[in-house]
Amino acid sequence: MKYSKINLALLFFTSLLLCSKSFSHPVSFKGSKGLMGYQSPFVSHNQLNYSFKHWFAAGIHHIQRPNMNSRSATFASANFLLKRWNGKGLQANIYSVIGAGHSELGPDARTSGFGLVQFDIENRDYYFLVKHQLVANSERTDFSQSVVRLGISPYVESYDGIHSWLILEWQSSNFFDGEDLTDLTPFLRIFYKNLLFEIGQSFDGITKFNYITHF
């Protein structure tokens, strides 16, 4: 089993060499503070949150279009773990985030809403996530993004070790001004204890970097 996974990993890395968003932990364990971010040349999304319960957190988000300095949005949010399935060797989650704040992602500044729905499922070998998020007001949608991720762990590490995952992400981002972007990005995820980061380059050559930490 391990040998075949190594083969898959090699194949994945090879495709990475041949070729070049957003994940999130909206809620973590009770009492934790989370800091996470998704960075790319076309959109940057950073979040700080505090989990009051294992199913509820409050967060602050900042979304920026790095190639357009004046285009950004800041929101306060309520993050919910709507449902979790804790199985023997498996966990699945449904998250929802709802927020409100100020958006300048469109042609003018507006009070806007932020919404997100996410489903993920994983065991120690495989991982799947699907997510949709948007920034909108009564007149328009300033930003929306859909994400699908598939991940595989090339090796299973013990709790105290350095963990790696290979993740393939499909994402489609749409902005009010029509600057849409759909791409496929392989990521390398590495985490150790409470620090996680991902780096990847889409097949269109866009470099992306993500991180999460909780403390």
For residues 45 and 59, the answer to whether their CB atoms sit within 8 Å is no
| 89 vs 178 by CB, closer to other proteins | 89
- Measured in degrees and rounded to the nearest 5, phi and psi for residue 29 equal -75, 155
Question: Closer CB to other proteins, residue 157 or residue 179?
Answer: 157
Among 167, 173, 196, 210, binds other proteins (CB under 8 A): 196
215: closest CA among 48, 22, 21, 23?
A: 48
- Considering only residues 121 through 160, tell me which ones interact with other proteins, judged by CB under 8 A: 122-124, 134, 136-138, 140-141, 157-160
Nearer to other proteins, 169 or 202 (CB): 169
Q: Which residue has the tokens 């489609």?
A: 172
Among 63, 166, 167, 212, binds other proteins (CB under 8 A): 212
Longest dimension (CA), the chain: 55
Considering only residues 45-84, where is the footprint of other proteins by CB under 8 A?
53-55, 80-84
**191: which 2 tokens?**
């985490």
Task: Give the whole-angstrom CA distance, residue 185 versus residue 150.
Answer: 11
Please name the residue that has the structure tokens 């993740």. 167
3-class SS of residue 184: strand
**How far is 141 from 113, CA to CA, in rounded Å?**
9
What is the closest distance, in whole angstroms, from the C-beta atom of residue 22 to other proteins in the complex? 17
Give the residue, chosen from 163, 176, 206, 209, that forms a contact with other proteins under the rule CB under 8 A: 163
End-to-end CA distance of the chain: 35
Using the rule CB under 8 A, is 28 a contact of other proteins?
Answer: yes
Q: Which is nearer to other proteins, 77 or 202 (CB)?
A: 77
Among 7, 194, 204, 207, which residue interacts with other proteins (rule: CB under 8 A)?
A: 194
Where on the chain is the footprint of other proteins (CB under 8 A)? 25, 27-32, 53-55, 80-91, 96, 98, 113, 115, 117, 122-124, 134, 136-138, 140-141, 157-161, 163, 191, 193-194, 196, 212, 214
